[in-house]
Amino acid sequence: MKKLLLVIFISFAFISSANADSIKGAFGYKLGQVVKGIKIYEDRNGFKTRSDSFKPAKPIPGFNSYSISTTLKTNKVFKIDAFNRMKIEIDKYYSCAGVKAFSNVLDALENKYGSFALWDDPLGWRQYIKWKGDRRILLKCVFWTGSNEVSMYLEYYDSKLYKLLKEENNQYSDYDL
């Protein structure tokens, strides 16, 4: 009986850890999902992408702006993101570490996907990253020095599909799209 319980426990732990690493998407969208009818935007260098904002059925506290981006021709979602810039009480917080909404999102992500790697970039963004194959989740926050504001950004991203977007930018003219 003890051996059976041990086998079940080990199997459950393996299944849980395998699922913890799976990055599929968020807010009702999946990375790789085909979404048609999204407007094309072009940056100043001529690079094109399809992007649109949306309101999720279950928004995450701390975020108020959501968007998806797709490849040009195949219309596959390669990025899903959420953003917010908010005022905080300056006497209580001097970094993102003290922002409750940021801590809550990070805790929820780590409970679902496992530990995230911390990377503080030179521009002052505190970033937590989780990679699984070609996909990543990025949660970042910046405390705007000299103000009482922070910005939070959450991104689900597929680098393989972004590479496809770059290829599509090189292959297709506006006429083809």
Residue 81 lies in a domain: yes
Number of separate domains in the chain: 1
Residue 151 lies in a domain: yes
* Prediction pTM value: 0.81
> Nearest-CA neighbor of 162 among 73, 81, 53, 79?
79
Torsion sign over Cα 162, 166, 171, 177 = positive
Residue 56 lies in a domain: yes
Residue 177 lies in a domain: no
pLDDT of residue 139: 95
Q: Could you give the CA distance from residue 114 to residue 134 in angstroms, rounded to a whole number? A: 17
Q: Which domain holds residue 69?
A: 2-171
pLDDT of residue 165: 94
Q: What is the CATH number of the domain that holds 94?
A: 3.40.1000
Residue 176 lies in a domain: no
In the chain, which residues have pLDDT < 70? Answer: 1-21, 89-95, 97-98, 124, 172-177
Q: Are 115 and 131 in contact (CB under 8 A)?
A: no
Q: Could you give the CA distance from residue 30 to residue 76 in angstroms, rounded to a whole number? A: 9
Radius of gyration of the CA atoms of the chain, in A:
19
Residue 100 lies in a domain: yes
Residue 77 lies in a domain: yes
pLDDT of residue 9: 36
pLDDT of residue 70: 97
Residue type at position 15: I
The CA angle 68-66-96, to the nearest 5 degrees, is: 120
